[in-house]
């Protein structure tokens, strides 16, 4: 199945380029067609489209735009509806109750900015739009958070694929940090801060939305 899907992906990306990337991300984020494993499709598409820094950024923009449009589909499908309409939206978008509940707990615990970094996590990337729509999150903020998160994630994937084909990602990183010692210093300080915080608390507690009072309303406005 996956081999056939990759063959179709290859043909579409070769023929339509950024448009195909836009459509793939739209289908994933809208959940209208939940049978696209982005963990396979996105790196494969990046390997076809990305040939340099410019095309890498173009890939990220196309992916971010597709995610924004798809995210708004889910946002409006679940925004301010009755329970009957919500059940209909779940069936239309192929969403399980467990997925909706998990995304809602994350949104309640971490607030609206979870829409931004939630786009980086496979199990939240699409469903985080649901509680955002139900909570009536500001539409512009939702679009910006979705676009930025999707752009960062997909550009990073494209960079790993591109530099992985050219040379070792390790050597690229070492060369960059050698030429930019300030960036290296800031990164080291950030890692030390995270390590210190992890030593003082449970390093995995932030992954559990039920921790520290999952029932609390912590939605930032």
Closest among 19, 208, 28 to 129, alpha carbons compared:
28
Q: Which residues contact residue 179 at a Cβ distance below 8 angstroms, ignoring those fewer than 6 apart?
A: none
Q: How far apart are CA 3 and CA 16, in angstroms?
A: 20
List the structure tokens of 167. Answer: 């040379």
pLDDT digits (tens, 9 = 90+) for 173-192: 556 667 667 766 776 777 66
List the structure tokens of 119. Answer: 């786009």
What does each of the 221 residues of the chain score in pLDDT, given as a tens digit? Answer: 556 666 777 788 888 899 999 999 998 888 777 666 677 788 888 888 888 888 999 999 999 999 999 999 888 887 765 455 556 656 666 667 777 788 888 888 888 888 888 888 877 888 888 888 888 889 999 999 999 999 999 999 898 888 776 655 555 555 666 766 776 677 677 766 655 554 554 444 444 555 454 444 444 44
pLDDT digits (tens, 9 = 90+) for 86-123: 566 566 666 677 777 888 888 888 888 888 888 888 77
Q: How far apart are CA 102 and CA 119, in angstroms?
A: 15
125 in Cβ contact with 118 (< 8 Å): yes
Q: Which residues contact residue 41 at a Cβ distance below 8 angstroms, ignoring those fewer than 6 apart?
A: 5, 6, 9, 24
95 in Cβ contact with 77 (< 8 Å): no
pTM: 0.69
Residue 200, classified by CB atoms within 10 Å of its CB into exposed (0-12), middle (13-18) or buried (19+), is exposed
Q: How far apart are CA 94 and CA 102, in angstroms?
A: 15
Q: Which residues contact residue 164 at a Cβ distance below 8 angstroms, ignoring those fewer than 6 apart?
A: none
């Amino acid at each position: 199945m996956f081999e056939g899907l990759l063959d179709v992906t290859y043909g579409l990306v070769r023929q339509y380029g950024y448009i195909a990337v836009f459509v793939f991300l739209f289908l994933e984020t809208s959940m209208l067609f939940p049978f696209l494993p982005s963990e396979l499709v996105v790196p494969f598409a990046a390997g076809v489209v990305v040939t340099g820094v410019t095309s890498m950024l173009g890939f990220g923009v196309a992916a971010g735009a597709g995610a924004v449009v798809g995210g708004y589909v889910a946002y409006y499908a679940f925004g301010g509806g009755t329970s009957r309409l919500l059940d209909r939206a779940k069936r239309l978008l192929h969403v399980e109750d467990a997925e909706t509940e998990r995304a809602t707990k994350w949104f309640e615990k971490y607030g609206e900015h979870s829409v931004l970094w939630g786009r980086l996590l496979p199990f939240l990337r699409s469903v985080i739009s649901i509680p955002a729509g139900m909570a009536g999150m500001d539409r512009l903020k939702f679009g910006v958070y979705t676009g930025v998160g999707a752009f960062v994630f997909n550009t990073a994937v494209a960079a790993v694929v591109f530099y992985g084909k050219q040379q070792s990602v390790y050597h690229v990183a070492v060369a960059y940090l050698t030429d930019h010692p300030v960036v290296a210093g800031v990164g080291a300080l950030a890692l030390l801060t995270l390590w210190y915080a992890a030593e003082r608390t449970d390093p995995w507690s932030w992954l559990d939305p039920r921790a520290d009072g999952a029932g609390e309303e912590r939605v930032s406005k």
